[in-house]
């Protein structure tokens, strides 16, 4: 019988093919012979770092969207002066050149890991930098994607951005990582490329090279050595995906579910239109200003927002005001140093230290709306109380914006949704942060990835509470966290009473196709099954049965 192992669903879709492991990194040792000329070795090490940083930047220029941002950040890591100083010190102390790089990188990576959260995620990027510099110094091929004439499922301990960003979906059918979390770079990039991915799957280490697997990036499952029948079934499912329905989102019995896109740039908005998004459900405005040292002026903001509104035309756009702080630092805001930034002054809470930034932004959004005629609504991130909802709604109305909403991503807001709903016109549930605060689990921690599994029944129970409160106060509910991009879970969300779903543009087709196969009653049954399930594993199986999923 086919054996199944479970990881965490990170990018939807299904694939079948042989596993190929990422080529391993070159090894260095303290007992390698040191170079005879210390100064020449330092020049050689500096040149190797420069070459690697240059390659990341060149890849970044060729890449788009999140891949480009991540590659630029990694290029900066390869030029970090503190890292280079430590390597030079190692060489001066008599260490072999390549091993001095390994030691310095290990030292800094351990520090990043100890800091936890987003910093810990950067440790794997830094290790990738180190391995590429060592390969450069040793004159060997850098670790990377195996060369193969036939398509395969790529397996790795973890994938660095440089690996993921250059993947060709024609060759790499799926991604499987032992580590990583559903919000890691691997997951974000895999979704952007449309490659199914399963992460945080410790049992994957047992899979030998070339063993055939079915990788289900929607359910987070890997089936080893499928029989011919199962293989055929998956190939048919993939062919059906390619031939997916277009047009507005709806269930098989015609219940409309507007399918919207999450965007952070004009390029994302263009892709959203190309892939049939019915609007933008989450415009992450902070992404436009991430690298900026000084605050953008109202004029500058107006132009950037208007560019995106024009691309969307008369499709509605939900703009989220700056969600800065925690995992999205914005240098120009001079945020206070905090022990626990995810629990600190982030999102709307920033208005308590700098109200001007919110007022300027609302002015710019309204000016861009007036200039383009695009239907625009605004929402605030990180709202927990009625007072905060009222504060935001009042400021938005003062700026001339009539349709105002809040992100529901703090359990307090979920529990009091009826009362918060009295202050605004709509809710958008951010399941990434809602899971983080519901389970008290850092969304960037790969060790805690299982708690961010959308199939955790506590998440569905919380969403059900939001919908119940919202219907009493007459507000519409959307979901814009990563969970909405999982085609099976999207059906569960519809069954829970969610009105709209917003996701990375490349996830739209899979969700649209799955919704078109099921009835509203089946979605309701799947939602009830998830609410009744004891564990995430039970929830996946029970929802699959209710939705008539063949396994």
Binding residues for Mg ion, per CB under 5 A?
409, 430, 433
Cβ–Cβ contacts within 10 Å for residue 180, how many?
29
From the list Mg ion, ligand PEP, none, partner contacted by residue 481 (C-beta under 5 to 8 A by kind)? ligand PEP
- Asked whether 175 and 200 are in contact (CB, 8 A), the reply is no
Smallest gap, in angstroms, from Cβ of residue 436 to ligand PEP?
7
**Which is closer to ligand PEP, CB of 159 or CB of 282?**
282
Decide: residue 171, CB within 10 A, 0-12 exposed, 13-18 middle, 19+ buried: middle
> 185 an active-site residue?
yes
**Which is closer to Mg ion, CB of 328 or CB of 506?**
328
Smallest gap, in angstroms, from Cβ of residue 201 to ligand PEP?
23
- Annotated catalytic residue, options 185, 201, 452, 491: 185
Q: Which of residues 407-426 bind ligand PEP (CB under 6 A)?
A: 409
Nearest C-alpha neighbor of 477 from the set 435, 429, 528: 429
Smallest gap, in angstroms, from Cβ of residue 271 to Mg ion?
21
Q: HEC string of 346-360? A: CHHHHHHCCHHHHHH
Smallest gap, in angstroms, from Cβ of residue 409 to ligand PEP?
5
**Which is closer to ligand PEP, CB of 360 or CB of 409?**
409
**Which is closer to ligand PEP, CB of 143 or CB of 264?**
264
> 452 an active-site residue?
no
Give me the 318-347 binding string for ligand PEP, x by CB under 6 A, dash otherwise.
Answer: -----x------------------------
Q: In what order do the strands lie in the sheet with 152-156?
A: 3-6, 221-224, 212-216, 14-21, 152-156, 172-177, 197-199, 8-11
What does the DSSP assignment read for 227-296? -HHHHHHHHHHHHHHHT---SS-B-TT--B--EEEEESSHHHHHHHHHTT-SSEEEEEGGGGGTT-SSPP
Cα-Cα-Cα-Cα dihedral sign, residues 5, 11, 15, 18: negative
Under rule CB under 6 A, residue 384 binds ligand PEP: no
From the list ligand PEP, Mg ion, none, partner contacted by residue 475 (C-beta under 5 to 8 A by kind)? none
- Annotated catalytic residue, options 99, 201, 452, 480: 480
CA distance 88 to 97: 9
Q: Which of residues 6-45 bind ligand PEP (CB under 6 A)?
A: none
CA distance 347 to 283: 14
Q: Which of residues 423-442 bind ligand PEP (CB under 6 A)?
A: 430-433
From the list ligand PEP, Mg ion, none, partner contacted by residue 377 (C-beta under 5 to 8 A by kind)? none
Residues 6 or more apart in contact with residue 428 via CB below 8 angstroms? 281, 282, 318, 379, 405, 406, 407, 408, 477, 478, 479, 480, 502
From the list Mg ion, ligand PEP, none, partner contacted by residue 296 (C-beta under 5 to 8 A by kind)? none
Smallest gap, in angstroms, from Cβ of residue 514 to ligand PEP?
20
From the list Mg ion, ligand PEP, none, partner contacted by residue 504 (C-beta under 5 to 8 A by kind)? none
Smallest gap, in angstroms, from Cβ of residue 343 to ligand PEP?
14
**Which is closer to ligand PEP, CB of 177 or CB of 326?**
326
From the list Mg ion, ligand PEP, none, partner contacted by residue 480 (C-beta under 5 to 8 A by kind)? ligand PEP
Q: How many Cα neighbours within 13 Å face the side chain of 544? A: 15
**Which is closer to Mg ion, CB of 423 or CB of 433?**
433
End-to-end CA distance of the chain: 13
CA distance 501 to 516: 14
Among 284, 346, 395, 506, binds ligand PEP (CB under 6 A): 284
Among 83, 188, 350, 480, binds ligand PEP (CB under 6 A): 480
CA distance 440 to 442: 7
CA distance 26 to 468: 56
Among 17, 481, 495, 510, binds ligand PEP (CB under 6 A): 481
**Can you say how many angstroms the Cα of residue 461 is from the centroid of all Cα atoms in its chain?**
23
**Which is closer to ligand PEP, CB of 268 or CB of 409?**
409
Residue count, binding to ligand PEP (CB under 6 A)? 10
Cβ–Cβ contacts within 10 Å for residue 322, how many?
25
CA distance 488 to 477: 19
From the list ligand PEP, Mg ion, none, partner contacted by residue 282 (C-beta under 5 to 8 A by kind)? ligand PEP
Q: Provide the annotated active-site residues.
A: 185, 480
Q: Which residues bind ligand PEP (CB under 6 A)?
A: 282, 284, 323, 409, 430-433, 480-481
């Amino acid at each position: 019988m086919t054996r199944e192992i479970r990881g965490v669903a990170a990018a939807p879709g299904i694939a079948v093919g042989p596993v190929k492991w990422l080529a391993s990194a070159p090894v260095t040792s303290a007992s390698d012979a040191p170079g005879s000329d210390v100064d020449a070795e330092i020049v050689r090490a500096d040149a190797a770092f420069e070459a690697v940083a240059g390659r990341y930047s060149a890849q970044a220029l060729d890449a788009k969207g999140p891949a480009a941002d991540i590659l630029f950040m990694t290029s900066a890591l390869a030029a970090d002066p503190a890292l280079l100083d430590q390597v030079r010190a190692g060489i001066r102390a008599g260490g072999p050149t390549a091993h001095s790089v390994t030691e310095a990188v290990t030292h800094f990576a351990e520090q990043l890991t100890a800091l936890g959260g987003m910093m810990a995620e950067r440790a794997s990027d830094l290790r990738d930098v180190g391995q590429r510099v060592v390969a450069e110094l040793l004159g060997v091929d850098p670790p990377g994607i195996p060369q193969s004439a036939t398509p395969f499922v790529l397996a790795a301990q973890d994938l660095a951005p440089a690996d993921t960003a250059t993947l060709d979906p024609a060759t790499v059918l799926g991604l499987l990582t032992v580590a990583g979390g559903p919000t890691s770079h691997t997951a974000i990039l895999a979704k952007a490329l449309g490659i199914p991915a399963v992460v945080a799957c410790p049992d994957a280490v047992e899979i030998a090279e070339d063993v055939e697997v079915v990788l289900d990036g929607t359910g987070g499952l890997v089936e080893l050595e499928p029989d011919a029948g199962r293989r055929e079934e998956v190939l048919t499912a993939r062919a059906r995906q390619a031939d997916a329905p277009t047009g507005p989102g709806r269930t098989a019995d015609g219940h409309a579910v507007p399918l919207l896109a999450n965007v952070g740039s004009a390029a994302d908005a263009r892709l959203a239109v190309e892939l049939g998004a019915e609007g933008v459900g989450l415009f992450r405005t902070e992404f436009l200003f991430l690298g900026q040292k000084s605050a953008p002026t109202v004029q500058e903001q107006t132009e950037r927002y208007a560019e995106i509104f024009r691309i969307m035309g008369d499709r509605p756009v939900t703009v989220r005001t700056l969600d800065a702080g925690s995992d999205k630092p914005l240098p120009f805001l001079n945020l206070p140093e905090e022990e626990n930034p995810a629990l600190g002054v982030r999102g709307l809470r920033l208005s308590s230290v700098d109200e001007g930034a919110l007022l300027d932004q609302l002015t710019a959004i309204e000016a861009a709306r007036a200039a383009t005629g695009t239907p625009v609504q605004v929402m605030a991130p990180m709202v927990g109380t009625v007072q905060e909802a009222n504060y935001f709604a009042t400021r938005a109305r003062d700026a001339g914006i009539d349709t105002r909403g809040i992100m529901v991503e703090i359990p307090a807001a979920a529990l009091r949704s009826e009362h918060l709903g009295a202050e605004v016109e709509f809710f958008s549930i951010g399941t990434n942060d809602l899971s983080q605060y519901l389970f008290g689990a850092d969304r960037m921690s790969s060790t805690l990835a299982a708690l961010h599994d959308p199939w955790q029944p506590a998440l569905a129970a919380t969403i059900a509470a939001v919908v119940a409160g919202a219907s009493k106060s007459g507000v519409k509910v959307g979901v814009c966290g990563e969970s909405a991009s999982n085609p099976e879970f999207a059906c569960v969300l519809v069954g829970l009473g969610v009105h709209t779903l917003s996701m990375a543009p490349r996830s739209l087709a899979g969700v649209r196709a799955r919704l078109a196969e099921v009835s509203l009653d089946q979605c309701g049954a799947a939602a009830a099954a998830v609410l009744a399930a004891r564990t995430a594993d039970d929830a996946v199986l029970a929802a699959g049965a209710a939705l008539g999923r063949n396994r």
